[in-house]
Amino acid sequence: MMKKSIIIAFIILVMVGCENPYIFNRTVDLKDGSKMLLGGVNREAFAKEPFFGWFSEGYESYQPNAEMVKEMKGKLKRYRIEVFIGTWSEDSKREYPRLMKILDEAKFPESRLLTYAVNESKKSFYSEEIGKDVRLLPAIIFYKGGDEIGRIVEKPVSGSLEEDILMIVNEKPLAPHYTQD
């Protein structure tokens, strides 16, 4: 019995050890010499060039509407957010730092935020975009209890990220912005 338990434990350890760990902040070199992020990313990715410059400039220069942030703060924590960005996309470079500033000021838990970088075909490294209808970037998707409640696509419909987020957390989301291809 003891020998069988040891063998089973060894097999489990080997199986667990063979699984590839999820790699965050994968940087891909492009043919033109530039770089892009691909797959799951966290803040560390934006602390390094070539992403630090545009991220920090957008983050530091943005001044969120304090009243709207205060109003959304308590409600926002009930949501999980997935963000799909392209580090090559001008809309992502504009909206993602602003979103992060708003979430920081609202004290949104980072554990409830997942960010995925995609290539120009809107594909991530581990295919997290499958089934998410990611056509334009950024795509900021809000979930509550596993259900999608609303999304902000490309740019806020109201003209303000704070107002669009507030509409979502009040469960009155605006229809996402889509442009004609």
Supply the angle between the helices 66-76 and 90-105 in degrees, to the nearest 10: 80
Q: What is the pTM of this model?
A: 0.86
pLDDT digits (tens, 9 = 90+) for 91-142: 999 999 999 999 999 999 999 999 999 999 999 999 999 999 999 999 999 9
* Mean pLDDT score across all residues of the chain: 89
Percent of the chain past pLDDT 70, that is, above it, reads 86
Radius of gyration of the chain (CA): 19
The more confidently predicted of residues 7 and 150 is 150
Alpha-carbon gap, residue 114 to 123, rounded angstroms: 15
pLDDT for residue 14: 47
pLDDT digits (tens, 9 = 90+) for 33-67: 999 999 999 999 999 999 999 999 999 999 999 99
Residue whose C-alpha is closest to residue 152's, from 171, 128, 168, 169: 168
Q: Which two tokens stand for residue 28?
A: 């891909």
pLDDT for residue 181: 43
pLDDT for residue 176: 85
User: Structural domain boundaries of the chain?
Assistant: 27-169
Please give the torsion angle defined by the CA atoms of residues 144, 130, 83 and 79, in that order, rounded to the nearest 10 degrees: 10
What residues does 80 pair with on adjacent strands? 143
Alpha-carbon gap, residue 138 to 126, rounded angstroms: 18
Specify the CATH architecture of the domain 27-169. 3-Layer(aba) Sandwich (3.40)
